[in-house]
Amino acid sequence: MPELPEAETIVRTLEPLIQGQRILSADYPGRRVWRGDVPELKGLAVVNVRRYGKQVLVGFDKGHLLVRLGMTGALIVDQIPTPYTRAVLTLSHCRLMFEDIRQFGWFEFLDEAPTQLGPDPFDLTSTAFAQRLRLRKTRAKVALLDQQFIRGVGNIYTDEALFRAGIHPNAHTHKLRAARAERLHQELIALLNEAISLRGSSISDYVDASGEKGSFQLRHRVYGKEGEPCPVCGTAIERIVIAQRGTHFCARCQKA
């Protein structure tokens, strides 16, 4: 699914398309999309659209819609419904659809903005990030994927950030030197900014609120590159499994 750069792109493209509009009706054609009680959205006005980690938060004049995009979720305006359309919100001037092929996503209605996840990587200094990392007794890959550690990073950007920082995905977080941990944060921020500027990575399904694909997948250096030469040293990129996720790295450039 969308990770932080994809969620950011969705938010930036979606907000101007729906801001200020009122919800006229809501339909849920597919598998149940709401976690918890089904709220009455009719009559609510869209105040803003923001990102919370890799999730999308639609702010109303009363309450918030938190959209968990899961693995294949997409928020698209004025598209033709598909068998995977799980929600259609008819607004004053357009229709907002939630498409979700694998059905892993869901909606949640919140009275207050969410606060339960770890800090956004953009809100941390590198020093604070390094301190946080030292307190986690786990492996680098696991820490970056953990939304309680920092919010927004998923499988693609974890592999890409660890490669850029020269850190092995199995490196023990509490043993990393402060300088390397700070470097990881700096590389992560640069990576996320580059990915946002290219409107995210479209691996299979991801599109923004206008249905446009991103292009950062063309800049991936290790993710999905098993067997291909490392762009730095030419060694074949390896693929292992960590936390049930495919993990791609260069054994020569990335050290524990």
Partner DNA sequence: CTTAATGTTCCCCA
Partner DNA sequence: TTGGGGAACATTAA
Q: Is 54 a catalytic residue?
A: yes
Tokens matching residue 195: 């990915």
> In angstroms, what is the minimal distance from the CB of 165 to DNA?
19
187 as an active site residue: the answer is: no
What sign has the CA pseudo-torsion 197, 203, 206, 212? positive
Kindly state the smallest distance separating residue 195's Cβ from DNA, in Å: 10
Give the span between the Cα atoms of 254 and 106, in whole angstroms.
Answer: 36
Interatomic CA distance for residues 19 and 57, integer angstroms: 13
- Residue numbers at the binding site for DNA (CB under 7 A): 1-3, 6, 31, 53-55, 68, 70-72, 83-84, 101-104, 136-139, 142, 145, 147, 154-156, 200-206, 223-224, 239, 242-246
Q: How far is CA 223 from the centre of its chain?
A: 15
Q: How many residues does this entry show for the chain?
A: 256
Least CB distance from residue 228 to DNA, whole Å?
14
Determine which one of 213, 239, 245, 252 is catalytic: 245
Annotated catalytic residue within 51, 54, 183, 225: 54
Q: Which residues contact 16 (CB under 8 A, 6 or more apart)?
A: none
- Report CA torsion sign: 52, 199, 192, 216: positive
For residue 2, indicate whether it is catalytic. Answer: yes
Residue 55 or 254 having the CB closest to DNA = 55
- In the bound state with DNA, the residue whose beta carbon lies nearer, of 59 and 105, is 105
Residues labelled as active-site residues: 2-3, 54, 245
